[in-house]
Amino acid sequence: MPLPEGTKAPDFTLKSKQATGVVDVKLSANFGKKNTVLLFFPLAFTSVCTQEMCDITSGLNAYAGLNADVIGVSVDSPFAQEAWAQKEKIKVTLASDLNKKTAEAYGVLLPDLLGFGATSARAAFVIDRTGVIRYSEQTPTPKDLPNFAAIKNVLSKLTSPRRRLDIEGRSQSGFSPFHLNFKQRRSPATGLTPSGSDFILPLRQ
């Protein structure tokens, strides 16, 4: 079963073949900066996987607008992924989980797919900037695509100012919503303290 929402996402460093050569793709490089959409797919050069990655490629600007980095992960070699990406004009960052350890860590490794051996299931995770899984889905079959509308909805909530305060515990201005100074005001006429309280918001970290 895929790791549930609220779980700390396992970090990984996977190889990716890009124009500059073989590079490392590290999940934690996004921590503190961007949300991550992590898409596991079974195999390159297959019809549903091609459709999925081509659709994501055409909508990459929308994910960038939601402050999200998209990473596709399969058990193919980085060289096979590159050849596939060039053939299909896929612009998504593709990372090779050749030893299958990352799919296993996320709970989405299938023991066998149509006689091809162990591959990842088709699955999607949204990981926020603190490294916590905020959306988790494994599709019923490898032929089914993830619910991308739900993924974008989660990303939209993560990028809202209120949600960012909830997650990070502070705004970019340095104000922390969890540190408020309260001062009750006594009435000069009655000497009583009213039920309401004035509060001061002076704290900056």
pLDDT average, residue stretch 46-73: 96
User: Comparing 116 with 23, which gets the higher pLDDT?
Assistant: 23
SS3 147: coil
pLDDT at 145 over 80: yes
Note whether residue 7 is domain-resident. Answer: no
The number of distinct structural domains making up the chain is 2
pLDDT average, residue stretch 124-149: 97
Confidence of residue 196 (pLDDT cuts 50, 70, 90): very low
54 and 106 fall within a common domain: yes
The pLDDT, as a whole number, for residue 116 is 79
Note whether residue 4 is domain-resident. Answer: no
Note whether residue 179 is domain-resident. Answer: yes
pLDDT average, residue stretch 1-19: 97
145 and 199 fall within a common domain: no
Over pLDDT 70: what percentage of the chain? 78
Q: Has 54 been annotated as catalytic?
A: no
The pLDDT, as a whole number, for residue 166 is 54
From 49, 56, 75, 103, active-site residue: 49
User: By residue range, what is the domain housing residue 180?
Assistant: 171-205
Radius of gyration of the chain (CA): 22
For residues 125 and 133, the answer to whether their CB atoms sit within 8 Å is yes
Note whether residue 54 is domain-resident. Answer: yes
38 beta partners: 71, 125
141 and 177 fall within a common domain: no
Confidence of residue 192 (pLDDT cuts 50, 70, 90): very low
192 and 123 fall within a common domain: no
For residues 68 and 37, the answer to whether their CB atoms sit within 8 Å is yes
The pLDDT, as a whole number, for residue 112 is 87
pTM for this entry: 0.79
What pLDDT digit, counting tens, does each position of 11-52 carry? 999 999 999 999 999 999 999 999 999 999 999 999 999 999
